[in-house]
Structure 1
Amino acid sequence: MKRQLYFLFTLFLILFWSSCRKDFDFVPSKGNLEFSKDTVYLDTVFTNIGSSTYTLKVYNRSNDDISIASVKLGLGESSAYRLSVDGMPGKVFENVELLAEDSLYVFVETTIDINNFSNPDGTYLYTDQIEFGTGSDLQKVELVTLVKDAVFIYPNRDNTTKVIETLTLNIGGTSLETELQGRELMAEELTFTNEKPYVIYGFAAVPEGETLNIEAGARIHFHENSGIIVSNNASLQVNGSLSADQDLMENEVIFEGDRLEPTFSDVPGQWGTIWLVDGSVDNSINYATIKNALVGILCDGNPDAVNDKLTIANSQIYNSGSFGILGRNTSIRAENVVLNNAGQSSFAGTLGGKYNVTHSTIANYWNNGFRQFPALLLNNFVLDEENTAIIADLDEANFNNCIIYGNDNPEILLDEIEDDAVAFNFKFTNCLIRFEDNNNNFTGPNYNLSDTNHYEGTIFNADPHFKDPGTNQLIIGEESAGINQGNTTFSDQVPYDILNVDRTNTPDLGAYQHIIFPEED
């Protein structure tokens, strides 16, 4: 009996207490909300491509539980913005409740068609507001988005089956069906101008016998798993230039992902690669930046081409998920090239081939996890599906007046399968290399650093004094060990550095002549 009385008494107290609570008596908001920001900038988006989701936090600093009469977009249902208020999607919300000393989240997204506006001239600043409350209690948070018009290149989709078109490639004269989504570029698409950025979905293939010309100042953006493929007997010509005021960014050609938010500016592996297939010819890249790819450039085959398979000059390749430049039994000539931050090697010449690299900076300061290979990898083999080695001649691999450095040690690997019938020819002339073998892990003639047939005038383990390799600023300063250490034979061949500074009389190593770094405040 006592137990029952105790239970009834306890229940009475709970009911009495709850009936006296005012915690859930919501009073109207008086316009004293606080916000995590007064303007939500949704960064830049391409027309008809959805933005990322942005967050606004709304605070009730008062001691009262409040009800916000209205939370809505200023343009209402016609707005191009979309909201989610505490998990509920929409554009207009009424009587939004917010407890005392509590907060709520508002998520904002947008997809904007620039063609809905008159005379956008390639870009359009789209704005709206989130309005909290009404009348004299109204508070506003601004919304701002810059919309860019673009040329979109994407594969066809069958209207019936909904299957997306895949590519059949001509590689070295052999037709190969692939599972790569994409299509061949049409005749009117074989010149990329600087009038609008290009956004590529899937792989854009240069047809056999054709040339893709990319003009100075062009901007090419790739969606995930996308890239450019240059087919048999086709060519890629990237024709960037340096502006009059030596602004490298002004007229260079930029290849990067299609996420324009600042948080994606240096994220590796956002898109596929520029693939120069076996059989493509006379590919040339001048004044380009290739960033955030899985492989910056994949260059296959044709090691004995009359003209080098790829000539690349005055260009930068950064933040590659695996390789900056991956050559496979091919021929590459590189001058004034800067490579940095690759998940494997910044430059890899594999399965032999021919490589002539002059006044270039091959660095790797990858900090996104373990990497298996050094900044520079050279080998003369590849393993097939049965783990059997296929060997080919490394006819020449000459690195002249270069810096090869990074945050690992050593930063070169000369991985040879010895065979008397197969050549393995390489030479470093007047280079600055990070190579310290304290545990004698690297033996054999390839690592005899005093052999002038392989290492002539080369400096080991001295500080190149880069400005900030973590942010891909690889110009060298006045304390660099590479100052005035270049061989003039090669500086005469490449008389100006990547910023068009004369180096003929006192050549420094790498792609840059040194500067005096400005003092930090």
Structure 2
Amino acid sequence: MRQYFTFFILAIIITFSSCRTDFDTVASSGDLKFSKDTVYLDTVFKNIGSSTYQLKVYNRSKNDISIPVVQFKKGLSSKYRMTVDGMTGNNGKIFQNVTLLAKDSLYIFIETTADITDANPTDFLYTDEIQFDSGANLQEVALVTLIQDAVFLYPNQNPDGSKEKIKIDRKDVDGFYLNENDPTNGNELLFTKQKPYVIYGYAGVPENKTVTFEAGARVHFHANSGLYVAQNASLKINGTASTTEKLENEVVFEGDRLEPLYSDIPGQWKSVIFEKGSANHAINHLTLKNAVIGLDFRNPLNTIEIKNTQIYNCVEYGILAQNAQIVGENIVINYASIAGLSCVYGGNYKFTHCTFYNNWSNPTHFAVTLSNSLAGATPETNPLTQATFNNCIIYGSNFNEFNLSKNTAAAFVYQLNNCLLKFGNTSNPDYQFKTDTEHYNNIILNENPKFYNVAQNKFNIDKTSAAFAKGNQSYIIPTDILGITRTSPPDLGAYQSKDFPK
């Protein structure tokens, strides 16, 4: 009986102690410590919410304290929002009597949505402070955000509240057609470097129209967005060589999250789709990042030139070409799930001084794959009339990085000349790199190209690389992807070798 009574008393003590919400606290004395004295919220576009950033507040004293007020200096008008240990306070702006136990800490999470008009007109910075207490005990932590102006392109809203649609793959998707006489934006078929562009949904290039991207243009695609080039429409990308790592003269396609956390996350937007029957495309100095499929060519009418182009971090393919005609020079592709370059359902291809690398670890995925068939197509096979690779590097983290998928019902013509190739199993008769001179000439097999930094998409090489001076002069492209003059004999791949800092 005594044992049951003891348990009863303990249960009462635990119940009352667990329900206690009051603490004996003393007023804050202005001795709080912070994980940082300034919180920099990375660059955002106007009126697009930022990521959430963290500030940690410490009470180093032996006393439980109460902070009379935690608030933004701009009060309820601040464009910042915060939570304090999970509490939202007054609209996420003002918090009263915040308790912080001895030798403990609390978390503050901060985000913002601001317009360019809220920022300082000289530097486009939007600033505020988080204030802890007031008077003699006032402590502040600064907040800084760069607000970037942009041209926003998006589907109109219909009278019934639905969004404007365009048809892709026989399906209606959120999208709109670019208008060369738009009353707000002017000529939407000309992308300049004056402001970045942010696209919501699919931006369509109408039939018989050409969209042009000038050197330095920046295009940011929202989630599930992309560019659609319709039948008989054309795309021209007129980037030029840059002199700094800022790629000031490149045309850049990427997602609309500007924070460093998102700089290399695949799948932030959909694709650039070239519809069947689109024509007269030319791409020069394009950097494309973080799509599902980078460039998706669907049986375009005539030859496409792709030069000095970088494609990184795509969920499925860097370039997916279906019965296309492509001449590619100084192309670099890295990190695509299924294939960096996939040429399916035949076509005609010539790639010179290109670097195809796949760092996506899956034994069924490749840097380059070629096929002359397509499941579900009518007919199922289509001739691959040419697939030539000259002075290229085809490499990656998998055992094999080159794949042939032949159907004997149609032509399958291919040739690799002076290429460095990653391929582990040579028992298949299609991959006899040393003896099959009809398809392979001067192949360097499984030797390390020693790229500068694959994780950072830096595919430069130096004199220790197996690709150094192994190219054939007869295939040389005079300058590399950076505009640097190639030597003779040339290096393999898209980059002319250089010495790296020690």
Q: TM-score range by the shorter chain?
A: over 0.9
Q: 1:118 to 1:410 in 2, by over 3 A?
A: closer
Q: Which residue of 1 aligns with 2:282?
A: 284
Matched, 1:407 2:397: yes
CA shift digits 1:422-453 (9 cap, x unpaired):
11000001111111216x3xx23454541111
CA shift digits 1:31-87 (9 cap, x unpaired):
111112111111010000011111111111211111001100011011110111122
Q: Output the CA distance in 2 between the equivalents of 1:93 and 1:318.
A: 44
Q: Which residue of 1 aligns with 2:322?
A: 328
Q: Retained in 2: the 8 A contact 1:347–1:375?
A: yes
Q: Which amino acid aligns with 2:259?
A: E
Q: Retained in 2: the 8 A contact 1:344–1:371?
A: no
Q: Map of 1:40-439 to 2, 5 A cutoff?
A: 40-89=39-88, 90-116=92-118, 119=121, 124-159=124-159, 161-168=160-167, 177-187=170-180, 188-243=187-242, 245=243, 249-302=247-300, 305=301, 307-308=302-303, 310-366=304-360, 370=362, 372-384=364-376, 390-419=380-409, 422-437=410-425
Q: Normalising by the residue count of structure 2, what TM-score does the alignment of the two structures yield?
A: 0.92
CA shift digits 1:385-414 (9 cap, x unpaired):
9xx981110010000010111111211001
CA shift digits 1:237-296 (9 cap, x unpaired):
1111114x4657121111100011101100011110111111111111111100111111
Q: Which residue of 1 aligns with 2:184?
A: none
Stretches of structure 1 lacking an aligned partner (at least 5 in a row): 170-175
Q: Retained in 2: the 8 A contact 1:61–1:102?
A: yes
Q: Output the CA distance in 1 between the equivalents of 2:10 and 2:416.
A: 88
Q: Output the CA distance in 2 between the equivalents of 1:445 and 1:167.
A: 43
Q: 1:352 to 1:29 in 2, by over 3 A?
A: same
Q: 1:344 to 1:5 in 2, by over 3 A?
A: closer
Q: Output the CA distance in 1 between the equivalents of 2:423 and 2:11.
A: 81
Q: Retained in 1: the 8 A contact 2:366–2:400?
A: yes
Q: Retained in 1: the 8 A contact 2:64–2:100?
A: yes
Q: Output the CA distance in 2 between the equivalents of 1:3 and 1:457.
A: 89
Q: Which amino acid aligns with 2:322?
A: R
SS at match of 1:299: strand
Q: Which amino acid aligns with 1:456?
A: N
Q: Retained in 1: the 8 A contact 2:472–2:489?
A: no
Q: Output the CA distance in 2 between the equivalents of 1:165 and 1:269.
A: 23
Q: Which residue of 2 aligns with 1:173?
A: none
Q: Output the CA distance in 2 between the equivalents of 1:497 and 1:3.
A: 86
SS at match of 2:407: coil
Q: Retained in 2: the 8 A contact 1:488–1:504?
A: no
Q: Retained in 2: the 8 A contact 1:166–1:180?
A: yes
Q: Output the CA distance in 1 between the equivalents of 2:162 and 2:214.
A: 33
Shift of 1:513: 1.1
Q: Output the CA distance in 1 between the equivalents of 2:193 and 2:314.
A: 24
Q: Which residue of 1 aligns with 2:459?
A: 474
Shift of 1:366: 2.2
Q: Output the CA distance in 2 between the equivalents of 1:396 and 1:5.
A: 91
Q: Retained in 1: the 8 A contact 2:310–2:332?
A: yes
Q: 1:76 to 1:13 in 2, by over 3 A?
A: closer
Matched, 1:461 2:455: no
Q: Output the CA distance in 2 between the equivalents of 1:93 and 1:117.
A: 25
Q: Retained in 2: the 8 A contact 1:374–1:409?
A: no
Shift of 1:117: 5.1
Shift of 1:504: 5.3
Q: 1:476 to 1:12 in 2, by over 3 A?
A: closer
Q: Which residue of 2 aligns with 1:172?
A: none
Q: Retained in 2: the 8 A contact 1:377–1:415?
A: yes
Q: Output the CA distance in 1 between the equivalents of 2:287 and 2:128.
A: 35
CA shift digits 1:90-118 (9 cap, x unpaired):
21111111111222111111100113457
Q: Retained in 2: the 8 A contact 1:238–1:253?
A: yes
Q: 1:223 to 1:12 in 2, by over 3 A?
A: closer
Q: 1:376 to 1:5 in 2, by over 3 A?
A: closer
Q: Retained in 2: the 8 A contact 1:167–1:177?
A: no
Q: Which residue of 1 aligns with 2:488?
A: 505
Q: Output the CA distance in 2 between the equivalents of 1:326 and 1:473.
A: 23
Q: Retained in 1: the 8 A contact 2:51–2:111?
A: yes
Shift of 1:151: 0.3
Q: Normalising by the residue count of structure 1, what TM-score does the alignment of the two structures yield?
A: 0.89
Q: Which amino acid aligns with 2:201?
A: G
SS at match of 1:214: strand
Bigger Cα displacement from structure 2, 46-55 vs 108-117: 108-117
Q: 1:99 to 1:332 in 2, by over 3 A?
A: same
Q: Output the CA distance in 2 between the equivalents of 1:61 and 1:247.
A: 44
Number of aligned positions between the proteins: 490
CA shift digits 1:370-389 (9 cap, x unpaired):
3632110001111129xx98
Q: Output the CA distance in 1 between the equivalents of 2:3 and 2:341.
A: 82
Bigger Cα displacement from structure 2, 22-31 vs 504-513: 22-31
Q: Retained in 2: the 8 A contact 1:318–1:340?
A: yes
Q: Output the CA distance in 2 between the equivalents of 1:147 and 1:23.
A: 42
Q: Which residue of 2 aligns with 1:515?
A: 498
